[in-house]
Amino acid sequence: MADGKRVTVRSRLSFTPRRSHHNSTITCLTSNQALSSPLSSSIRMQVFFPPEVQLFVRPQILVEGDDATIYCSAKANPNEITYRWYHNSELLANETRRSFAIHQIPRAFHQDAVSCEVSNKVGTSKKTLTVHVQYGPRFRSPPRDKAAESGKEVLLECDVDSNPTSSIMWFRENSKKCAIPIILFSRSTQGDPRYEVVQDQQGEGLRNVLVIHDADTKDFGSYNCSVVNEYGVARKLIRLNEESK
């Protein structure tokens, strides 16, 4: 300074503010030989940031017919925020709260997308949740009766939609034994070796085909296709008729 004895010292701290700095305290300490303890000055930072969004559903495991609620949790500053909900990208104009209720959730909701969009004056954030619904088995298309010649190979199809994947069993008419035992992918040595089951995964369902090699007259009749998981059972009779010559 002008007296040649005193000086003015300035210190500058530069950084990029982040949302984690919000409500943090920054303190400046100064000292010299004339001070018995340092002097300090503090400020509390206020950082504005757009919403940070999280989605969760209750109950965590959804079963067809249950009531479900999807909650939208958001952190933001300023915390004056608005909510908008979307179902498969379609805006739900009447849904403006922090939760979205689904009454008696149908199986059609399985694999649908639900999104929550949250806004404040700084910006907008959006989070999407894929809904998983568990439901009992249902035939995608009714099994059809088939006609076949004796000695020829014949296919009987059992095409089932369920979540989780169902067990599938084939029964001859008036018989309590499986034509070929199969539960999920486990096999039993009991049963006629001429019977073969071929199955493949299709989306959330299982397509199951019964192949009868070298069919003869005793193979003609009705076959019961039964599918089961922990949420229900479905059964259908398929009749194998001898093809008239």
Hey, which residues does 63 pair with through a beta bridge?
A: 134
Q: How many angstroms separate the Cα of 29 from the Cα of each of 8, 26, 35, 40, 138?
A: 15, 10, 12, 4, 73
Domain boundary, last residue among 131, 152, 176? 131
Q: Distance between CA atoms of 219 and 172, rounded to whole angstroms?
A: 8
Query: Are residue 229 and residue 142 in the same domain, yes or no?
Result: yes
CATH at residue 191: 2.60.40.10
pTM of full prediction above 0.95: no
On whether residue 187 sits in a domain, the answer given is yes
On whether residue 15 sits in a domain, the answer given is no
What is the model's pLDDT at position 191?
62
Query: Are residue 116 and residue 180 in the same domain, yes or no?
Result: no
Mean pLDDT is lowest, of 60-69, 111-120, 126-135, 195-204, for 195-204
Query: Are residue 58 and residue 147 in the same domain, yes or no?
Result: no
On whether residue 17 sits in a domain, the answer given is no
Per-residue pLDDT of 26-35, as tens digits, reads 999 999 888 8
Q: Distance between CA atoms of 166 and 202, rounded to whole angstroms?
A: 12
Query: Are residue 125 and residue 53 in the same domain, yes or no?
Result: yes
On whether residue 80 sits in a domain, the answer given is yes
On whether residue 202 sits in a domain, the answer given is yes
Residue span of the structural domain in which 102 resides: 49-131
% residues pLDDT > 70 (the chain): 90
**What are the structure tokens assigned to 33, written together?**
């030989």
Q: What is the tally of structural domains in the chain?
A: 2
Domain boundary, last residue among 131, 157, 181? 131
